[in-house]
Amino acid sequence: MALRTIRTEGDPVLRKVSRPVTEMNQKIRTLIFDMLDTMYESMGVGLAAPQVGILKRLVTIDVGDGPIVLINPEILETSGEQTGDEGCLSVPGMAGQVTRPNYVKVKALDENMEEVIYEGTELLARAFCHEIDHLDGKMYTDLVEGELHRTVYDDDEV
């Protein structure tokens, strides 16, 4: 296990579309552990592989209920709306208002390449949308309503 360097806005890797994970192997397992370590160390609630420079469709999330690993995630269903501050480990110290669905249902593979379905509301729904956007080269800053502002707390950065 090791910490990986988080790429920050301006790094072209963050604007690329990631490729699906086709098989589980030691390299991917190590990447998952490293991403979890890096996410916890940075006090983030989510991290996507392109944020550590790897263009694979792989996401880790923990909104306080334990780690979630999503491989090749797809959003199946959304409903409602929430508007609130959102941040990103790749845009350190900043946040901005973003409107997201308040409920999101996601299908993915877990670390054993078995299908899993997650349903999230509020922060978890926001994290699903934010991280899956990273896999398509999208940043929350594209969606911000108004101006970005500085944050004191960075524990909601995803």
106 makes contact with Zn ion (CB under 5 A): no
Which listed range, 10-18, 31-39, 69-77, 83-91, lies at the site for Zn ion (CB under 5 A)?
83-91
Alpha-carbon torsion, ordered 19, 119, 1, 155, to 10 deg: 110
Which listed range, 1-9, 33-41, 72-80, 150-158, lies at the site for Zn ion (CB under 5 A)?
150-158
According to DSSP, the residues that pair with 61 across neighbouring strands are 46, 68
Positions of E strands within 81-152:
82-88, 91-100, 103-109, 115-121, 145-150
CA-nearest of 73, 75, 88 to 142 is: 88
Decide the pairing of beta strands 46-48 and 82-88: unpaired
70 makes contact with Zn ion (CB under 5 A): no
| Closer of 35 and 88 to Zn ion (Cβ) | 88
Minimum distance from residue 10 beta carbon to Zn ion (Å): 14
Please give the Cα distance from 139 to 66 (Å, whole number): 25
Helix (H) or strand (E) holding 21: none
88 makes contact with Zn ion (CB under 5 A): yes
| Closer of 111 and 154 to Zn ion (Cβ) | 154
Tell me whether residue 131 is one of the annotated catalytic residues. yes
Minimum distance from residue 134 beta carbon to Zn ion (Å): 6
| Closer of 86 and 103 to Zn ion (Cβ) | 86
What does the block give as tokens for 156?
């909601």
| Closer of 88 and 98 to Zn ion (Cβ) | 88
Which listed range, 53-61, 81-89, 95-103, 113-121, lies at the site for Zn ion (CB under 5 A)?
81-89
Minimum distance from residue 89 beta carbon to Zn ion (Å): 6
Please give the Cα distance from 101 to 138 (Å, whole number): 16
Residues forming contacts to Zn ion in the complex (CB under 5 A) are 88, 158
Name the residues annotated as catalytic.
131
